[in-house]
C-alpha cells in the first residue's frame, strides 16, 4: 500500500476537521483516521466516493489498522490501537465528532447507554454532503450549509435531549439530571429508593453519570472523612455517607458490566484507603434476572440490592448483615 497516498489523505482529513470546526486538539491523526473510517475512504479513493459507513469503536479501530497501516510508523498516536485504548478513541475522537455534528450516534436507538457494546456511529447527512465536495468548487458552499444546518439541529436536539433526561431527587430535596438510559434509571432508584430504606438521613457525596460523570461531587466533605478523591480513579456510581453509623456506602449500578467482584472491591479499598468511616460495598441491579446473571461474580462481604425487590437485600457475608468489616467500625 502506497504510504504517500495514506499521508496525503490524512493531511486532507485534518484540513476538513479544521474546516468543520473541530478544536485544534481534535485535529490530530487519530481523529482524522476515525473520520476516514466512518466515510469508508481508503487512501486511493477520491473524496467524492465518501459514504455513510456505520461502525462501532472496535470495528473503526480495525478498519484504521487495515487501510492505513503505515501511518503509525514513527508517530505517537498509532493506528494499531490495542483493545485497552478503545476508550481513548471513543472519548478523544468519536465523541468530539458527534458533538460537532459530523457523526450521528445510534440512529436506530438513541437511548442506548454510553457503555453499550452495540453503540454504532455514522456520518451525518449534512456532513457527508459537504465532505464529498472537498476539493471542488462546491466545497465552500456546502461547508457553509453544514454550519448553518448543524446550528439549527443542535438547538433542536438540545431541547429534545433535555426532555429525556432522568431527574434524580437527592435526599436534601435538590434535583439533578442524568443522561437517558437504563443505567441512569437504576442510579435514580438507588438514590430515591435504596438510600431512604437502608441509609436514612444519609448524604449523597458523589453521584456519577455515563454522560458527564461528576453530577454530585463533595471533595471537601470526603476530605473531612479522610478520603482524597482521585479524579482519575474509577469511582463507584453512588457514594452515600450514612451519618448515623458513620459508614461510606459505595454502590455500583449494574446494567451490563461492573458488579462488586473481588477485583473491584480491592480497587475501591485502595481508592478509599484513607477513609475514617467504615466502607460498605453494594451492587445494585434492576431485576432479579439481571442479578442471577452476575451472581457468581459477587464478592463475599458485600451486599446486593435489587430495585424490583427494593425492601430487601442479599448479604454475601457470614457474620453480619449490612455494615463494614473493619473490626474498629
Domain CATH code at residue 134? 1.10.10.1820
Which residues are CB-contacts of 271 (< 8 A; sequence separation ≥ 6)? 230, 233, 234, 235
CATH code (residue 235): 3.40.1350.80
Give pTM, 2 decimals.
Answer: 0.54
- Domain match, 130 and 115 both: yes
The answer as to whether 322 is a domain residue is no
Last residue of a domain, one of 164, 189, 209: 164
Give the lowest-confidence range in 44-48, 147-151, 164-168, 322-326: 322-326
- pLDDT tops 60 at residue 161: no
- Domain match, 123 and 206 both: no
- Calculate helix-pair angle for 29-39, 57-67, nearest 10 degrees: 100
The answer as to whether 24 is a domain residue is yes
Last residue of a domain, one of 122, 145, 164: 164
What is the tens place of the pLDDT at every residue in 99-112?
Answer: 888 998 887 666 66
Domain boundaries, position 63: 3-164
pLDDT of residue 74: 40
Q: What is the mean pLDDT of the chain?
A: 85
The answer as to whether 329 is a domain residue is no
- pLDDT tops 80 at residue 203: yes
β-pair type (247-254, 278-285): parallel
Distance (Å, rounded) from C-alpha 270 to C-alpha 249?
Answer: 15
Q: Which of 258, 169, 240 minimizes the C-alpha distance to 198? A: 240
- Domain match, 154 and 22 both: yes
Give the lowest-confidence range in 68-72, 84-88, 157-161, 311-315: 157-161
Per cent of the chain over pLDDT 90 is 51
- pLDDT tops 60 at residue 127: yes
What is the tens place of the pLDDT at every residue in 90-102?
Answer: 888 998 898 888 9
What's the whole-number mean pLDDT along residues 320-325? 64
- Domain match, 87 and 117 both: yes
pLDDT of residue 114: 65
> Which one is predicted more confidently, 12 or 158?
12
- Domain match, 276 and 175 both: yes
pLDDT of residue 83: 55
Which residues are CB-contacts of 210 (< 8 A; sequence separation ≥ 6)? 113, 114, 115, 178, 179, 181, 183, 184
- pLDDT tops 90 at residue 116: no
Task: Give the confidence band of 41 by pLDDT, cuts at 50, 70, 90.
Answer: very high
The answer as to whether 253 is a domain residue is yes
What is the tens place of the pLDDT at every residue in 253-290?
Answer: 998 788 999 999 999 999 999 899 999 999 999 999 99
- Domain match, 25 and 147 both: yes
- Domain match, 170 and 90 both: no
Task: Give the confidence band of 1 by pLDDT, cuts at 50, 70, 90.
Answer: low
- pLDDT tops 60 at residue 79: no
Domain count of the fold of the chain: 2
- Domain match, 180 and 220 both: yes
- Domain match, 117 and 239 both: no
- pLDDT tops 80 at residue 157: no
3-state secondary structure of 267: helix
- Domain match, 70 and 192 both: no
The answer as to whether 324 is a domain residue is no
pLDDT of residue 77: 47
The answer as to whether 83 is a domain residue is yes
pLDDT of residue 328: 53
- Domain match, 95 and 185 both: no
Kindly give the residue spans of alpha helices, DSSP state H, lying in the chain: 3-20, 29-39, 57-67, 86-89, 95-99, 125-131, 139-164, 182-189, 195-198, 219-224, 262-271, 288-294
pLDDT of residue 101: 87
> Which one is predicted more confidently, 54 or 155?
54
- pLDDT tops 60 at residue 76: no
Task: Give the confidence band of 242 by pLDDT, cuts at 50, 70, 90.
Answer: very high
Distance (Å, rounded) from C-alpha 220 to C-alpha 224?
Answer: 6
Last residue of a domain, one of 164, 185, 204: 164
The answer as to whether 90 is a domain residue is yes
- Domain match, 93 and 205 both: no
Task: Give the confidence band of 48 by pLDDT, cuts at 50, 70, 90.
Answer: very high
Amino acid at each position: 500500500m502506497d504510504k504517500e497516498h495514506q499521508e496525503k489523505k490524512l493531511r486532507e482529513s485534518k484540513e476538513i476537521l479544521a474546516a468543520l470546526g473541530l478544536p485544534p486538539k481534535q485535529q490530530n491523526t487519530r481523529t482524522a483516521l476515525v473520520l476516514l473510517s466512518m466515510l469508508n475512504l481508503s487512501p486511493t479513493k477520491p473524496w467524492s466516493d465518501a459514504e455513510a459507513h456505520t461502525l462501532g469503536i472496535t470495528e473503526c479501530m480495525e478498519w484504521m489498522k487495515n487501510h492505513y497501516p503505515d501511518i503509525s510508523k514513527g508517530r505517537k498516536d498509532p493506528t494499531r490501537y490495542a483493545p485497552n485504548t478503545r476508550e481513548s478513541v471513543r472519548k478523544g475522537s468519536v465523541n468530539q465528532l458527534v458533538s460537532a455534528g459530523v457523526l450521528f450516534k445510534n440512529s436506530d436507538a438513541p437511548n442506548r447507554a454510553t457503555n453499550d457494546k452495540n453503540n454504532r456511529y455514522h456520518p451525518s447527512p449534512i456532513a457527508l454532503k459537504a465532505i464529498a465536495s472537498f476539493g471542488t468548487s462546491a466545497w465552500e458552499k456546502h461547508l457553509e450549509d453544514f454550519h448553518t444546518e448543524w446550528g439549527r439541529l443542535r438547538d433542536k436536539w438540545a431541547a429534545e435531549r433535555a426532555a429525556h433526561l432522568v431527574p434524580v431527587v437527592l435526599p436534601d430535596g435538590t434535583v439533578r439530571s442524568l443522561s437517558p438510559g437504563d443505567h441512569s434509571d437504576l442510579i435514580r432508584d438507588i438514590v430515591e429508593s435504596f438510600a431512604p430504606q437502608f441509609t436514612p438521613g444519609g448524604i449523597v457525596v458523589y453521584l456519577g453519570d455515563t454522560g458527564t460523570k461528576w453530577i454530585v461531587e463533595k471533595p471537601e466533605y470526603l476530605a473531612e472523612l479522610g478520603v482524597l478523591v482521585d479524579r482519575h480513579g474509577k469511582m463507584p456510581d453512588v457514594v452515600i455517607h450514612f451519618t448515623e453509623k458513620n459508614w461510606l456506602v459505595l454502590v455500583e449500578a449494574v446494567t451490563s458490566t461492573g458488579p462488586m467482584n473481588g477485583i473491584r472491591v480491592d480497587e475501591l479499598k485502595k481508592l478509599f484507603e484513607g477513609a475514617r468511616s467504615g466502607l460498605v460495598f453494594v451492587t445494585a441491579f434492576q431485576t432479579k434476572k439481571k442479578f442471577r446473571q452476575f451472581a457468581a461474580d459477587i464478592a463475599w462481604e458485600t451486599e446486593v440490592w435489587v430495585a424490583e425487590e427494593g425492601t430487601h437485600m442479599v448479604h454475601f457475608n457470614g457474620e453480619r448483615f449490612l455494615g463494614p468489616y473493619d473490626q474498629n467500625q
